[in-house]
Structure 1
């Protein structure tokens, strides 16, 4: 065809070079148009040599030109020239363009078939039951998403007509693969989570018998489905089995009922022991499933209490721990004996309430004793007889008492009473500093350092009142301090600041350091936050990151013996 085209072009050149007078002749016009038509026909034939042309395209061409012949190995150029292709130049170009686009589609579909004919699921055994669980395969998901986009693009093409049925079929297949995989992982995840609860935990089975029975039915169905699906490794075949999607949806809806029953059960437990609201559901389930064994619940105590890390249990005759608690350890290994033995038998929420009551009663009893014994011996000896929290709180109680006595003496006319008390404070502080230089255990050193921190602030407050010649206990500089006092009648510790009064909560805090109290801490945080609490409102300390907003709030909590919970309130956190 190329040679013929070159010859035709040569003829056309020769014709153009003929004498101008000849151009008016009919013979010239006829020959010229014949050569031009031949050139156009040869171009069309060259285009029709494209490998993308299929039999259906020849049929379209014959239909268009109205000339029919058999397209096979015996077809000659004369047969093609009979089609008068020079009259259908645009149509030929359109058919060739369509054929090329269709060939690209054919290629995409061929690759798609190849890919999914070899794509298989990966499985891993469940750690307890060895049930084959679908393994998360990122490559599979990525290919699935890419192929779905490819099919969507094919559907928008104007040349889709011939492949419409096949593309639609693949779209349906891959859409089913996508939805079944998503549903399968959802069911699998829920089943794995609930299996360890309803099958693995005897305690919860006993407390939720009906739901456990319901889950056993689901368990049988899911295992059967998992083993059955494993027999068909190919992804498309396995997921497009008739009825599979409905089976999974049925299992999922039944699992949802079990989850709902479990959530209601957990809420009931949270109401019985409200601190359960502040731990994750996974931790709560672990606590409940081991509820009758306090030894196994111990590892969660630090999440439920401020600084109660473990409980000391009374040993039996064979030195095995019983369910009677004798005392508590803090994270710093400080040990405090309970005032009375604590019964840790029965339901977990019941005995945890017993522990909470024992903890508070113990701190309160220790405080009662320490306040009474304060004047019986020098302070540096007295503070070793009591837990760090009690020694610190009683030091603060006696500071308030002694400043009150000094004010009373000033009013009686003894002008130097406050100055003398200031000297006593400095002496006490120097004694503690001397002790810190000497040999001390880690716990005692921390205890004395914490008392020093609070003592320095107490000394500075008294020095400030002397400098400002304050002679009245109603002066704002004194009322604005956080003042602890002991009420003998109620046997309770109260914290006063301005016109607000708080009952000390007796949460066991262990032997922890306290923040250095600065004017900002004192004024902005303590006064403002306590006033808002007094008015039943909330407070919102604002400022750059790392300036101590959270730590100051936690320190105020420690000063009032309250458990402080810290939440990272991100956008993902809902009200539940």
Structure 2
């Protein structure tokens, strides 16, 4: 419009043989309007991004896509004419500030969006920021995080996320041990015509080695500074593995004793001088055989050693 007006004035001046008049203020205003148009087009894009981002549920946010959009906005901002900065327009520096703040916030949001972040970590975020917000997936939105100046607590949040990663590593180890010993079974072998009543000694000795390894791993875990959320569970499993190891060691010892006694008392050539002991052995023998047969049917280590029922699949 300004260009058309100037051209009209110049045409009139030429028509009356007048020297076309210069309009420096008009030229300056026209140039500024072009610059402002570029600035506000980009500002509108940012506002649209910011509005959509803030209204997004935390459980549904795609931070990678948001990062790409933000990078595109920043690239367009950096490509704006340098004259915009020379004009010292507030809108230019406001947009720059908003974009820079987002660029600082996004890495923190990525850290907080990691799978190891649990409710207890969000409670710590609330504690350090002095702000509270609802964590329910249907109401927890990005604006809850954008409005509490997360960038001011970058070091604290980084520390929380680092602890969360370490805690997850410990939890992964714990789950591996739990899964191994929840599903671990005993092997039995036949003896004479009694059926499957004897623990396979070599197999159990290997189990004992695994138990020692597991106990050592759990003991090391209990000494780390990041174990607190799982301390009770790890300590409980440490006691379980210790009990299983002691029971299996005793079991093998008793089994060897039974084998020796069985060979003596069930020997037809045994003398009458052991008849009383033989009667006692018969009573013990019945209980032993019953226990061994039941164990060979169950086979699960936890059930056989600690009488624990099998656990259902863990639901996270």
Measured against the shorter chain, the TM-score band is 0.5 to 0.7
Alignment of 1:516-531 (within 5 A): none
The structure, 1 or 2, with the larger RCO (C-alpha pairs under 8 Å, 6+ apart) is 2
RMSD: 3.4
Q: Does residue 1:195 correspond to 2:286, yes or no?
A: no
The answer for the alignment partner of 1:83 in structure 2 is: 148
Between the two proteins, the alignment pairs up a number of residues equal to: 239
Higher helix share: 2
Pick aligned residue for 1:236 from 286, 289, 302: 302
Displacement after TM superposition at 1:202 (Å): 3.3
Displacement after TM superposition at 1:73 (Å): 4.5
The answer for the alignment partner of 1:6 in structure 2 is: 71
The answer for the alignment partner of 1:227 in structure 2 is: 293
Pick aligned residue for 1:43 from 83, 104, 107: 107
The answer for the alignment partner of 2:169 in structure 1 is: 104
The answer for the alignment partner of 2:228 in structure 1 is: 161
Match of 1:132, SS state, is strand
Displacement after TM superposition at 1:180 (Å): 0.8
Supply the distance in 2 between the matched residues of 1:58 and 1:22 (Cα, whole angstroms): 43
Displacement after TM superposition at 1:28 (Å): 9.3
Alignment of 1:385-464 (within 5 A): none
Supply the distance in 2 between the matched residues of 1:230 and 1:18 (Cα, whole angstroms): 86
Structure number, greater radius of gyration: 1
Supply the distance in 1 between the matched residues of 2:125 and 2:77 (Cα, whole angstroms): 28
Supply the distance in 1 between the matched residues of 2:147 and 2:98 (Cα, whole angstroms): 14
Q: Alpha carbons of 1:11 and 1:91: their partners in 2 closer, same or farther (altered >3 Å)?
A: farther
Conserved? CA contact 2:190–2:196, under 8 Å: yes
Supply the distance in 1 between the matched residues of 2:132 and 2:75 (Cα, whole angstroms): 32
Q: Alpha carbons of 1:178 and 1:234: their partners in 2 closer, same or farther (altered >3 Å)?
A: same
Displacement after TM superposition at 1:188 (Å): 0.1
Q: Out of 123-132 and 185-194, give the one that drifted further.
A: 123-132
Displacement after TM superposition at 1:232 (Å): 2.5
Q: Alpha carbons of 1:193 and 1:128: their partners in 2 closer, same or farther (altered >3 Å)?
A: farther
Displacement after TM superposition at 1:76 (Å): 3.1
Conserved? CA contact 2:126–2:132, under 8 Å: yes
Conserved? CA contact 1:22–1:28, under 8 Å: no
Displacement after TM superposition at 1:60 (Å): 2.0
Supply the distance in 1 between the matched residues of 2:143 and 2:234 (Cα, whole angstroms): 39
Displacement after TM superposition at 1:211 (Å): 4.0
Supply the distance in 2 between the matched residues of 1:128 and 1:220 (Cα, whole angstroms): 14
If the length of structure 1 is used for normalisation, what is the TM-score?
A: 0.37
Match of 2:134, SS state, is coil
Supply the distance in 1 between the matched residues of 2:148 and 2:184 (Cα, whole angstroms): 48
Displacement after TM superposition at 1:194 (Å): 2.1
The answer for the alignment partner of 1:146 in structure 2 is: 213
Supply the distance in 2 between the matched residues of 1:170 and 1:139 (Cα, whole angstroms): 19
Displacement after TM superposition at 1:29 (Å): 8.7
Conserved? CA contact 2:85–2:92, under 8 Å: no
Structure 1: segments with no counterpart, 5+ residues: 243-576
Structure 2: segments with no counterpart, 5+ residues: 1-65, 309-316
